C-alpha cells in the first residue's frame, strides 16, 4: 500500500501580518457597502469593481512570477487570503477560478505571448474564467468528452456542448477539454486536448441554468463551428489526460472546500452567546474540532504544493471530508438552533442564512468531483483498487 503524506505544516509568521492587512481591507469594503458578510447569496457574486480592487492589492495570482503580474508569494500566503475572503463571504466569483486554476494552467502550458497578454490582466482582476470540462454525457468520466476540435486553416473548429459551466455567462475566457482524436485501444484517456477559448465570440451560445437557490451561476455552452487559433492550444495535442490531474490538486484542497456554509456556524455562536448550555457547547465544540482538523490537512496540502509536490490523493481527501462536512453543517446548526432562545437578537439572520445554506448544500458534494468518485481516487492512491 502506498502511503499518504500530510506534511506537518503551520502558517509562518508573515502570514499573520498578511492576514491583518486582508482583514483591514475587507472591513473597509464592508463599511463602504461593497458586500454584506451576513447575507451570503444576496448581491452580485461577480463584482468586477471589487475584483479590480483585490487585484490592486496584489492578491490575485499572488504566487505567480512578477513578470506576469504576480507577486512571487507563497501558496501559504495565498491560503490566508482565500480563507479570509471566504469567511467574510466576499464576492470573489469573478476572479477566483482564474486565480486558483486557469492561471496556473496557462503558466504551465500557454505560449509566452499568450501568457504575457492574459496573466497580467487576471492579476489586475479584469478577467473571469470558466472551466469547460463536463458535458451532457460526460461528468465524472471526463475522458468520455465528445465535443470535437477539428483541424482547419490556422486552428480548430469546435462543435458540441458543455454543461454546468459555472460563470460562463460572465466569463471572458474558458479553459476547455475538447476531443481531437478518438481514444486508442491501449489508452481510453487519449485524444483530448486543452484549449483556451475566448468567450463572447461567434459560434458560442451560453444558455443559463437556474439553481434551487434562485441564482443563475452555471450554464449550458453550445459550440457551433467556433474557431480557435493554433496558439490557443494548451500543452500536448491528445495529451490532456496528463495535464488535467495536477489541476485537480489546486481545485480540490483549498479552504473554499469546507467554508462554503461556514457562516451558519458563526451565526449560531453569536446566537448562543457567551454562556451556552451544555448541549450547544458540546455540539459547537465538536464542529469546531472537526473544522480545525480539516484546516490542518488543507494547510498541509497548500504547503506541499508550495514544495513542488503533487498531493493529488491528499487533496481528494480534503475535498471529500470538507464537502461532506460543509454539506451537513447547516443541518447540524439547525438542530442546535432549536435550543436557542426564540427572541435572540440575530434569530432572523440565522433563519435566513440556514434557508440559503440548506438549498446550497446538495451541490457541494458534486461540484469539483463527486464524493463517490473522490473515494475511488483515494482508494486507487492507497493501492486498494
Ligand atoms: C454547482 C456546480 C458547479 C459546477 N461547475 C462546473 C464547471 O464550472 N465546469 C464543469 O466542467 N463542470 C462543472 N460542474 C459539473 C460537475 O463537475 C459534475 O456535475 C460532476 O463531475 C458529476 O458529473 P455528472 O453530473 O455528469 O454526474 P455523473 O458522473 O453522471 O454521476 C452520477 C452519479 O454516479 C456516481 N458515479 C459516477 N461515476 C462513478 C464511479 N466511477 N464510481 C462510483 N460512483 C460513480 C456519481 O458519484 C454520482 O452520484 C458543476 C457542478 C455543480 C453542481
pLDDT of residue 3: 79
Adjacent-strand bridge partners of 93: none
**CATH number of this structure's domain 131-240:** 2.40.110.10
Residue 332 and residue 357 in contact, taking contact as beta carbons nearer than 8 Å: no
131-154 pLDDT per residue, tens: 999 999 999 998 999 999 999 999
> Which amino acids bring their CB within 6 angstroms of ligand 1?
130-134, 139-140, 164-166, 218, 363, 366-367, 369-370, 372-373, 376
Q: Distance from the CA of 81 to the center of ligand 1, in angstroms?
A: 28
Residues 6+ apart with CB under 8 A from 32: none
Q: Which three cell numbers stand for residue 232?
A: 490557443
SS3 135: strand
Query: What is the number of the ligand 1 atom nearest to the C-alpha of 142?
Result: 21
Which CATH code for domain 248-382?
Answer: 1.20.140.10
- For a ligand 1 pocket test, name from 46, 160, 164 the mutation site with the most ligand atoms within 8 angstroms of its C-beta: 164
**Alpha-helical runs (H) found in 110-175:** 112-123
Q: Tell me the best of 100, 139, 160, 385 to mutate to test the pocket of ligand 1, counting ligand atoms within 8 Å of each CB and taking the most.
A: 139
Instruction: Please give the DSSP secondary-structure letter assigned to residue 331.
Output: H
Angle between helical axes of 312-337 and 240-252 (0-180°, round to 10): 40
| Span(s) in the chain for CATH 2.40.110.10 | 131-240
What is the C-alpha radius of gyration for the chain, rounded to an integer number of angstroms?
Answer: 21
**Sheet strands (E) in the chain:** 129-132, 148-152, 155-163, 173-179, 192-198, 204-209, 218-229, 233-234
Q: Which bin fits 322, alpha (ψ -120 to 50), beta or left (φ > 0)?
A: alpha
CA of 175 to the centre of ligand 1 (A): 18
CATH 1.20.140.10 location in the chain = 248-382
**Can you tell me the distance from the alpha carbon of 66 to that of 167, in angstroms, rounded to the nearest whole number?**
27
How buried is residue 286: exposed, middle or buried, by Cβ count under 10 Å (0-12/13-18/19+)?
Answer: exposed
DSSP-derived letter for residue 180 is: S
Closest CA to 45 of 82, 96, 98, 121: 96
192, β-bridge pairs:
179, 239
- Per DSSP, what are the bridge partners of residue 228? 156
Length of the chain in residues, anyone?
Answer: 385
Task: Read off the C-alpha cell for 156.
Answer: 480548430
Residues forming CATH 1.10.540.10 domain(s) in the chain:
13-127
Residues contacting residue 356 through CB under 8 Å, at least 6 positions apart? 40, 41, 213
For the stretch 223-268, pLDDT in tens is 999 999 999 999 999 999 888 766 666 678 899 999 999 999 999 9
CA of 144 to the centre of ligand 1 (A): 13
161 DSSP β-pair partners: 222
Neighbours of 338 (CB within 10 A): 7
Q: What is the H or E stretch that residue 213 is in?
A: none
Indicate the pairing of strand 155-163 with strand 148-152: antiparallel
DSSP β-bridge partners for residue 244: none
Query: How high is the pLDDT of residue 246?
Result: 65
Check if the beta carbon of residue 304 is closer than 8 Å to that of residue 339.
Answer: no
Query: What sign results for the dihedral spanned by CA atoms 170, 171, 177, 178?
Result: positive
| Beta-carbon contacts of residue 22 (< 8 Å; ≥ 6 apart) | 59, 80, 81, 84, 85
Q: How far is the CA of 204 from the centre of ligand 1 (A)?
A: 23
Q: Please state which CATH class domain 13-127 belongs to.
A: mainly alpha
pLDDT tens for the chain, residues 1 to 385: 467 899 999 999 999 999 999 999 999 999 999 999 999 888 888 999 999 999 999 999 999 999 999 999 999 999 999 999 999 999 999 999 999 999 999 999 999 999 999 999 999 999 999 999 999 999 999 899 999 999 999 999 999 999 999 999 999 999 999 999 999 999 999 999 999 999 999 999 999 999 999 999 999 999 999 999 999 999 999 999 888 766 666 678 899 999 999 999 999 999 999 989 999 999 999 999 999 999 999 999 999 988 988 888 999 999 999 999 999 999 999 999 988 888 888 999 999 999 999 999 999 999 988 999 999 999 998 999 8
Residue minimizing CA distance to atom 13 of ligand 1: 164
Give the whole-angstrom CA distance, residue 194 versus residue 176: 6
The answer for 218, left when phi > 0, alpha when psi is -120 to 50, beta otherwise, is beta
How far is the C-alpha of 195 from the C-alpha of 149, rounded, in Å? 9
Distance CA 83, CA 16 (A): 12
Distance 174 CA to ligand 1 centre (A): 19
In this predicted structure, what is the pLDDT of residue 68? 98
Best of 101, 326, 373 for a ligand 1 pocket test (most atoms within 8 Å of beta carbon): 373
Amino acid at each position: 500500500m502506498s502511503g499518504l503524506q500530510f506534511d506537518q505544516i503551520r502558517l509562518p509568521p508573515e502570514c499573520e501580518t498578511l492576514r491583518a492587512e486582508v482583514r483591514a481591507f475587507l472591513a473597509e469594503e464592508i463599511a463602504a457597502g461593497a458586500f454584506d458578510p451576513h447575507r451570503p447569496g444576496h448581491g452580485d457574486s461577480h463584482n468586477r469593481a471589487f475584483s479590480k480592487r483585490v487585484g490592486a492589492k496584489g492578491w490575485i495570482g499572488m504566487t505567480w512570477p512578477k513578470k506576469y503580474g504576480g507577486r512571487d508569494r507563497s501558496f501559504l500566503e495565498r491560503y490566508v487570503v482565500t480563507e479570509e475572503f471566504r469567511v467574510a463571504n466576499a464576492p470573489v466569483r469573478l476572479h477566483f477560478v482564474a486565480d486558483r486554476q486557469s492561471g496556473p494552467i496557462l503558466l504551465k502550458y500557454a505560449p509566452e505571448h499568450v501568457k504575457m497578454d492574459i496573466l497580467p490582466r487576471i492579476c489586475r482582476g479584469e478577467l473571469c474564467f470558466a472551466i469547460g470540462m463536463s458535458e451532457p454525457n460526460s461528468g465524472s468520466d471526463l475522458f468520455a468528452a465528445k465535443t470535437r476540435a477539428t483541424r482547419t486553416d490556422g486552428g480548430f473548429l469546435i462543435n458540441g456542448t458543455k454543461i454546468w459551466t459555472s460563470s460562463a455567462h460572465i466569463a471572458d475566457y474558458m479553459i476547455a477539454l475538447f476531443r481531437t482524436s478518438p481514444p486508442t485501444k491501449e489508452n481510453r484517456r487519449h485524444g483530448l486536448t486543452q484549449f483556451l477559448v475566448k468567450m463572447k465570440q461567434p459560434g458560442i451560445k451560453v444558455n443559463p441554468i437556474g439553481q434551487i437557490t434562485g441564482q443563475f451561476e452555471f450554464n449550458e455552452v453550445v459550440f457551433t463551428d467556433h474557431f480557435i487559433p493554433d496558439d490557443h492550444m494548451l500543452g500536448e495535442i491528445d495529451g490532456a489526460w496528463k495535464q488535467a490531474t495536477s489541476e485537480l490538486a489546486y481545485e480540490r484542497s483549498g479552504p473554499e472546500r469546507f467554508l462554503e456554509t461556514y457562516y451558519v456556524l458563526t451565526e449560531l455562536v453569536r446566537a448562543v452567546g457567551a454562556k451556552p448550555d451544555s448541549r450547544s457547547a458540546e455540539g459547537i465544540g465538536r464542529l469546531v474540532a472537526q473544522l480545525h482538523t480539516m484546516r490542518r490537512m488543507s494547510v498541509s496540502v497548500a504547503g506541499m504544493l508550495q514544495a513542488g509536490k503533487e498531493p493529488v490523493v491528499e487533496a481528494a481527501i480534503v475535498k471529500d471530508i470538507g464537502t461532506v462536512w460543509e454539506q451537513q453543517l447547516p443541518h447540524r446548526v439547525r438542530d442546535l438552533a432549536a435550543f436557542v432562545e426564540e427572541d435572540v437578537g440575530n434569530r432572523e439572520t440565522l433563519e435566513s442564512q440556514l434557508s440559503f445554506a440548506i438549498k446550497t448544500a446538495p451541490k457541494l458534494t458534486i461540484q469539483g468531483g463527486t464524493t463517490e468518485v473522490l473515494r475511488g481516487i483515494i482508494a486507487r492512491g492507497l493501492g486498494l483498487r
